[in-house]
Amino acid sequence: RERDMDILGKRALVTGASGGIGRACALMLARHGARTIVLADIDEKGLVAVAAEIASLGAEALTETVDLSDSASAIAMYARAEERSGGLDIIHNNAGIMGGPPDFPDDNIDRMIATMQINLIAMMIGTKMGVGFMRARSVPGVIINTASTAALGPLPKDPAYAASKRGILAYSESCKPLHAEFGIRVIPLCPAVTDTPIVAKDADWLQPILESIRLLQPEDIAEEVRRIIEDDSLSGEAIVVHNEPLAQ
């Protein structure tokens, strides 16, 4: 069947864009003809490098250096991104951190709070503001929120991360009626273990898992993001990307 939304000519925002899944998704958007991509992250140096890659692919790259653990900064950034881009069609709320190390229950309480602020609260802000922007312009749009398979069950060594990701799931699924009402799709994306800088590969509890699976690559997730954007039937329900087991 024909694609419903074409990335060509669209304006997008990606948070957590300096590396990992965010970088891969931003590059995918540029390769598929996005006109403007706003890259948001706390890592200014990383943003400059990704912006150069985006520009080399022929898209306009706009950078926003922001600490999403600060809600006022997050709100201001989303407002600037809408204005600077000329109107967002695609928003990928992707920025995230883990709750440790150290592992729960020895984890740091400030880190726990930051995990909820960055992973969940900033995503809620970005989704709500994005819906407002798209509704005000009467345009269909897509908002993708990076959750995790950690949202689907307990994560005893990092409950803050699991809670933040399950919150993303609940919030995004609750937005499903926006599709019928305004043509705005909100989709939670749940990647399994992906080879990104936030994965604590030296954590003891993670070793048995890492030894039994093939790690997903950021490019695998970017391809799934492309599929979600282009398929107008997808809205509300979680899209889960599983790891393949390693051959024994």
Q: Which residues are catalytic?
A: 161
In the 3-class helix/strand/coil scheme, how is 3-40 assigned residue by residue? Answer: CCCCCCCCEEEEECCCCHHHHHHHHHHHHCCCCEEEEE
Q: What angle do CA 223, 132, 87 make, to 5 degrees?
A: 60
CA angle 48, 121, 200 (to 5 degrees): 65
Q: 127 is written with which tokens? A: 């989704």
Q: CA-to-CA distance for 236 and 101, rounded, in angstroms? A: 32
CB 93 within 8 A of CB 144: yes
Reference 3, options 233, 224, 241; nearest CA is: 233
Q: How far is CA 9 from CA 3, 53, 133, in A?
A: 15, 18, 18
Question: Residue 225 in contact with residue 92, Cβ under 8 Å?
Answer: yes
Residues 6+ apart with CB under 8 A from 24: 217, 218, 219, 221, 222
- Cα distance between residue 73 and residue 98, in whole Å: 20
Longest alpha-carbon distance in the chain = 54
Tell me the CA end-to-end span of the chain in Å, nearest whole number. 38
